Amino acid sequence: MKLTQNQKYILGGIIVVVIAALLIWRGGGTKQADRQENSAQNQQPENQNSSTQDTERTTEDDNSQNTYEGTLKISDDLKQGNLMLDTGQRIIYVFTSRDYSSLLGKSVALEIQGTLENFTLLDIKEK
């Protein structure tokens, strides 16, 4: 069976769509629209030679409200989250279905409830 050029393009497109759907399905099975919990927060020091201290508030109380400031970016690891906050000292990954595209690349305040390992996103506001 010989395929025409159009049939090859259609078959290739179908394969790409199926692979994309599988990747999205595997990475986002536990997302909820109004409650964003990060199951595996990755705290990576961006500059390990820095002598500055971390002035962010962190507590072990799951009901505490914390605010972190930094630059909002599209995530570089979609398994960790679809957005990330770069504080200059750590990266905080966030899963959310809310539209914060107007804040990408801007200095923002990330408001969460809980710990960095398990939190609920309250809001992201421009500073």
CA distance 30 to 24: 11
Q: How many CB atoms lie within 10 A of CB 110?
A: 23
The pLDDT of residue 27 is: 63
The predicted structure's pLDDT at residue 109: 95
Mean pLDDT score, 39-49? 40
Ranges 34-38, 63-67, 100-104, 123-127: which has the least confidence: 34-38
- Note the Cα 55 to chain centre separation in Å: 22
Q: How far is C-alpha 79 from the geometric centre of its chain's CA atoms?
A: 8
Do residues 122 and 111 lie in contact, with contact meaning Cβ atoms separated by under 8 Å? yes
